[in-house]
Each structure stands twice: as C-alpha cells, then as structure tokens.
C-alpha cells in the first residue's frame, strides 16, 4: 500500500474524454460514483482535500486507488473509512455494507444450514426501502448483483474444499 499524502495526485488534470474515465494507475475503466458517496466514505484527512469534480470508482483488485477525479486527485484504500471488498482478499470481505452480509457470514450460514439466504434477506430489505447503498457501499451502487456473485463464489470455494471421492 502506498503512503498517503496531503497532496496525493495520480496524474495531472485529465481532459474530459473517454480517457478521463480510466484509472490513472491501473488503466481500468472507473465507474461513476456520486460525490455524496465519496464524501461519506473518506477519512477526515482525505475529506479535507476533496474537490467538486466528477468521481470514478476503480474496482481493480490489484490497484490501491479507490476513487479518482478529473483533476488528478486519487483516494486510496487508506483514505476510505471501510475496507473496500473489491480490494480485499477473498474469504471475509463485507459485500453488503447496509446489512453486514459478508463472505464469512455466507460461509457460516452454508456450513450450518446447507445454503445461504443472504440474497433473499437483502431483497426483503430493499423492498422495504431500508438500503442505503448510494452512501454505504464504496461503489455507490446497489450490492445485490455483487451479493449474488459472492454467494456463488463461496459455494464454489466450499465445494472445492470437499471433493467428491470416486467410488471404488
């Protein structure tokens, strides 16, 4: 992880073009994210240098940049108040920031009950209007698709831990 500094800049100001949506470090296309999400999740120190440019979210697991803007400002994993699941190693990552669904809780539920109902629980919360993904999720978007994929990843990982023995 790179050191944080008060004047952290990935690159200079980028022109408003398709290239501006690429992370200055990884080259990954960044997803637009609302300023309210960025401001809610930055540490106090990082928040003191936030600008009003449009922000992008870099989901590249090998890149330490979480948010970047057209002015060249980059906010890294150390600048964010919560671990960013896309940047963390598989196993215990929080996937649903609103209701605390994580790979570890999914795994425990599958081990105990044979399946996970995490997706159904979150769908019920969404239907009841309780989610706040635009604020709590570092990506600033609904986590349901990520949660569905996480359940499948955990199921696959658990299945590979106990290979079926061939009958003699």
Per-residue pLDDT of the chain (168 residues; tens, 9 = 90+): 333 433 444 444 444 556 789 999 999 999 999 999 999 999 999 999 998 889 999 999 999 999 999 888 999 999 999 999 999 999 999 999 999 999 999 999 999 999 999 999 999 999 999 999 999 999 999 999 999 999 999 999 998 765 444 433
By the 8 A CB rule, do 139 and 67 touch? no
Quick: pLDDT tens for 141-158.
999 999 999 999 999 999
In this structure, which topology does domain 18-79 adopt according to CATH? Answer: N-terminal domain of TfIIb (2.20.25)
Spatial distance between the Cα atoms of 61 and 153, rounded to a whole number of angstroms? 16
Q: Would residue 146 be called left, alpha or beta, if left means φ above 0 and alpha means ψ between -120 and 50 degrees?
A: alpha
Spatial distance between the Cα atoms of 94 and 84, rounded to a whole number of angstroms? 8
By the 8 A CB rule, do 10 and 68 touch? yes
For the chain, give every domain's residue range: 18-79, 85-160
Spatial distance between the Cα atoms of 168 and 156, rounded to a whole number of angstroms? 25
Q: Measured between alpha carbons, how far is residue 105 from residues 42, 115, 119, 142, 152 in Å? A: 26, 11, 12, 19, 13
Q: Where are the beta strands (DSSP E) in the chain?
A: 31-33, 55-57, 65-69, 74-76, 94-96, 101-102
Spatial distance between the Cα atoms of 168 and 35, rounded to a whole number of angstroms? 61
């Amino acid at each position: 992880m790179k050191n944080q500094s008060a004047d952290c800049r990935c690159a200079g100001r980028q022109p408003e073009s398709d290239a501006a949506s690429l992370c200055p470090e990884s080259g990954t296309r960044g997803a637009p994210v609302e300023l309210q999400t960025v401001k809610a999740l930055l540490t106090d120190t990082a928040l003191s240098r936030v600008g009003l440019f449009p922000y992008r979210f870099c989901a590249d697991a090998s890149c330490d940049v979480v948010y970047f803007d057209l002015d060249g400002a980059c906010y890294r994993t150390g600048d964010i108040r919560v671990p960013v699941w896309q940047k963390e190693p598989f196993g215990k990552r929080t996937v649903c920031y609103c209701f605390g669904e994580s790979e570890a809780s999914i795994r425990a539920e599958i081990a105990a009950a044979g399946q996970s109902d995490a997706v159904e629980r979150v769908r019920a919360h969404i239907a009841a209007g309780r989610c706040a993904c635009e604020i709590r999720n570092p990506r600033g978007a609904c986590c349901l698709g990520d949660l569905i994929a996480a359940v499948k990843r955990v199921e696959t990982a658990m299945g590979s831990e106990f290979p079926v023995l061939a009958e003699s």
